C-alpha cells in the first residue's frame, strides 16, 4: 500500500500507478485522534473494490467507534463509485481481539465468491484486550496480527491479500503501539503528521513518500 492510494479521493486518477495493491500487502496506519484514519481505511476499501471488479473488502471496527466517527468521504466520491463496488465492501462490528481473529480464521469457510480479498481493521489498539497488563496485551496483539497475516495468504489460489490496520499513535514512542510486534508481519508503516488547520501529511516509513490531505469536511 502506498500513501497516495490511501489519501487520494476516489474521483481522482492514481498518480504514477499508485493503486491499492502496490507496495506492501500489510500496512499499519498510525496517527493521532481525529486525523481521518477511518476515512482513509474506508476509502482504501472502496478503491480496492473499484480497481478489482470481482473482489471484496471487509471493514472491521467497534460499533461505538463508528458511531462517533465523522467520515469525510464526499458525495461526489461516492456518486462516482460503481454501485457493485459499494456492495462489495462489507462491514463487521467487533468487541474484542477474539472477534477479529475469528473473522480472519474463518475466511476459508465462506464460499469463494464471498471471501474478502482485503481486510481493514480500524483502531486495533482499542479492540485488543489485556488492559494494563503489558504481557497479556502483547500476546493478544501477536495472536491477532498473526491471524491477519495468515488469512492474507490464500493457499488455494496463491493470492496475496491486502491487510491494513489503523492505530492511534503511542504517546510514549510517537509511533505505532507494539511496533516491534507489527514488525514481524507488517512490511509498511504509514505515519500521519498534523501540519495544522485540519491538514495532515501521510508518510511512508519505507521510503519517505508523502501525501498531504485535509479533514476539513470531517475526520475520525
Q: Would you kindly state where each structural domain of the chain is located, as residue ranges?
A: 3-214
Closest CA to 144 of 130, 158, 157: 130
Q: What pLDDT score was predicted for residue 68?
A: 73
Q: What pLDDT score was predicted for residue 16?
A: 59
Q: Which residues, at least 6 apart from 42, have a Cβ–Cβ distance to it below 8 Å?
A: 59, 71, 73, 89, 120
Q: What pLDDT score was predicted for residue 171?
A: 86
Please provide the DSSP assignment of 78-142 as one string.
Answer: HHHS-HHHHHTEEEEE-SSHHHHHHHHHTGGGS-GGG-EEEEEES-HHHH---TT-HHHHHHHHH
Mean pLDDT over 109-117 rounds to 82
Q: Taking 50 as the threshold, does the pLDDT of residue 105 lie above it?
A: yes
Closest CA to 128 of 181, 188, 78: 181
Higher-confidence residue of 166 and 72: namely 166
Share of the chain above pLDDT 70, in %: 86
Q: What pLDDT score was predicted for residue 189?
A: 93
**Alpha-carbon gap, residue 200 to 187, rounded angstroms:** 22
Q: Taking 50 as the threshold, does the pLDDT of residue 218 lie above it?
A: no
Q: What pLDDT score was predicted for residue 29?
A: 95
* Residue 135: pLDDT band with limits 50, 70, 90: very high
At the second CATH level, the architecture of 3-214 is: 3-Layer(aba) Sandwich (3.40)
Q: What pLDDT score was predicted for residue 112?
A: 77
**Alpha-carbon gap, residue 101 to 147, rounded angstroms:** 6
Q: Are 189 and 170 in contact (CB under 8 A)?
A: no
pTM over 0.85: yes
Q: What pLDDT score was predicted for residue 219?
A: 42
Q: Taking 80 as the threshold, does the pLDDT of residue 12 lie above it?
A: no
Q: Taking 50 as the threshold, does the pLDDT of residue 182 lie above it?
A: yes
Mean pLDDT over 138-154 rounds to 87
**Alpha-carbon gap, residue 78 to 58, rounded angstroms:** 17
Amino acid at each position: 500500500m502506498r500513501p497516495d492510494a490511501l489519501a487520494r479521493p476516489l474521483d481522482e486518477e492514481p498518480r504514477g500507478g499508485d493503486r491499492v495493491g502496490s507496495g506492501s500487502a500489510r500496512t499499519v496506519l498510525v496517527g493521532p485522534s481525529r486525523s481521518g484514519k477511518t476515512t482513509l481505511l474506508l476509502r482504501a476499501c472502496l478503491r480496492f473494490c473499484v480497481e478489482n471488479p470481482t473482489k471484496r473488502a471487509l471493514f472491521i471496527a467497534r460499533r461505538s467507534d463508528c458511531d462517533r466517527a465523522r467520515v469525510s468521504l464526499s458525495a461526489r466520491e461516492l456518486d462516482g463509485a460503481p454501485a457493485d463496488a459499494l456492495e462489495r465492501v462489507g462491514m463487521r462490528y467487533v468487541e474484542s481481539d477474539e472477534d477479529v481473529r475469528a473473522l480472519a480464521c474463518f475466511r476459508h469457510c465462506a464460499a469463494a465468491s464471498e471471501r474478502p480479498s482485503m481486510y481493514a481493521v480500524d483502531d486495533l489498539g482499542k479492540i485488543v484486550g489485556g488492559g494494563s497488563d503489558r504481557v497479556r496485551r502483547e500476546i493478544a496483539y501477536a495472536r491477532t496480527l498473526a491471524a491477519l497475516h495468515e488469512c492474507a495468504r490464500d493457499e488455494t489460489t496463491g493470492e496475496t491479500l491486502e491487510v491494513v490496520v489503523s492505530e492511534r499513535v503511542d504517546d510514549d514512542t510517537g509511533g505505532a503501539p507494539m511496533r516491534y510486534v507489527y514488525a514481524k508481519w507488517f512490511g509498511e508503516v504509514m505515519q500521519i503528521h498534523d501540519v495544522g488547520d485540519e491538514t495532515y501529511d501521510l508518510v511512508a516509513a519505507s521510503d519517505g513518500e508523502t501525501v498531504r490531505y485535509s479533514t476539513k469536511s470531517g475526520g475520525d
